[in-house]
Amino acid sequence: MKCLIRFAVMIVATVVALSSSAEEIAATGKAVPELSGFDDWMQAFMREHNIPGGQLAIVRNGKLVYARGFGWADREAKEPVEPESLFRIASVSKPITAVAILKLVDQGKLKLDDKVLDHLKYEPHFEEGGKLDERWNQVTIRHCLTHTGGWDREKSYDPMFQAHRMAKSMKIDLPILPEHVIRYQLGQPLDFEPGERYAYSNFGYCLLGRVIEKLTGQPYEKHVQDEVLRPLGITRARIGGSLEDQRAEGEVRYYDVKGEPGKAIVGPGAGEKEVPVSYGVWRQETLDAHGGYNEADDGTRANLLTGDSVRDMIGAHVMITAATDAKPARFYGLGWFTEPAPGQRAFIARHGGALACTAASLMHFPDGTNLAVLFNLGQDKDGKFLGRGIEGPLTELVRPVKDWPANP
């Protein structure tokens, strides 16, 4: 199980350029003949969706056995991407935040059933006639980890992408920071009783990031780098920049399928200027604990959590979908989607990441196989997130492999 935690914070990324749907997509990294089926799937998936770039990495029993990139870091400049290139990972940041929280639990600094407002003290922003929803006082760390805190973006909105609305209401300048989001939400009613049901919430992980800062006295990014990433030998991971001129050394370029601009919330002209969707329509730094990370590097093994915390992390805490004849029941653990492995008592753990410019998935199988895939385009031509078509096919590729390479 130690390799699960290691792999949850290890993302290696490269990209692909397509000049025609039939042309072979150039690959970087060492070819692994035993795993050529993964090469074939990556190329077919990328051709089907006209994806500029993608990368796939596989760890088996703590050893990196496959790491291949396809194409360019910058399609226009024909800039190749190396295996250590940085890449936005969107909500694959959530398992990283979960590890940081559970490490504080293991250290006795935090309990999963602590009330969030016992740790965070922000002055609510009330709009006319507003008042504190008393159910806020019931929200726990566990609720935030399991998406049961009371926020439902399908019923109301996703607080992490409401910068213009919040700035206008609070009469403040852009950009919106995490503390502004929290103050605004404290003045809004919850969508349901905390703990009542599951509803995926980026905002809950924003709160967890602030709890980490409160308990450690460090910025979220620095604490995660010092206490989660560096012990694993990962030194280049960082919160991504929002603007194109903030592209880090070795970072890929991002693309969106529609190519339509949006109104900037960060940088010159924030609030008025139209900018590419991938650069400035949201503030990457504000997404930090739920979707802000750039990742790279192959780290070393380390014990970050107790065995009990690892098992708890990928357990079945809240049901998302019931079992059918075709599919097993699906659950959410502590920072991971989980489902029973066929014929086993163990769980398969996964987490996807989705932005207009990013599709990502991190997958753990009970046999010691861990897999990460990334693309620098997040949607298909119809605007549907690409991540929904990733995990099923890759699971089917993993299952029949019997002879994994020992020294790729």
Beta bridge partners of 67: 57
Do residues 349 and 370 touch, judged by C-beta distance below 8 A?
no
Q: Which two tokens stand for residue 96?
A: 């990283």
**b vs e for 30-39, b when ≥16 Cβ sit within 10 Å of the residue's Cβ?**
eebeebeebb
Do residues 228 and 212 touch, judged by C-beta distance below 8 A?
no
Q: What one-character DSSP code corresponds to residue 204?
A: H
Using only the alpha carbons of the chain, give its radius of gyration.
Answer: 21
Among this protein's residues, is 91 annotated catalytic? yes
Do residues 84 and 236 touch, judged by C-beta distance below 8 A?
yes
Q: How far, in whole angstroms, is CA 183 from its chain's centroid?
A: 24
Q: Which of 19, 20, 36, 91 is catalytic?
A: 91
Round to whole Å and give the CA distance between 320 and 395. Answer: 20
Closest CA to 283 of 271, 260, 266, 267: 266
Do residues 88 and 296 touch, judged by C-beta distance below 8 A?
no
Q: Which helix (H) or strand (E) holds 239?
A: strand 238-239
Do residues 125 and 170 touch, judged by C-beta distance below 8 A?
yes
Q: Which residues contact 238 (CB under 8 A, 6 or more apart)?
A: 86, 221, 225, 248, 293, 294
Three-class DSSP category at 275:
strand
Q: Which helix (H) or strand (E) holds 72?
A: strand 72-74
Write the Ramachandran bin of 119: left for phi over 0, alpha for psi from -120 to 50, otherwise beta. Answer: alpha
Round to whole Å and give the CA distance between 396 and 321. Answer: 21
Query: Active-site residues: which are they?
Result: 91
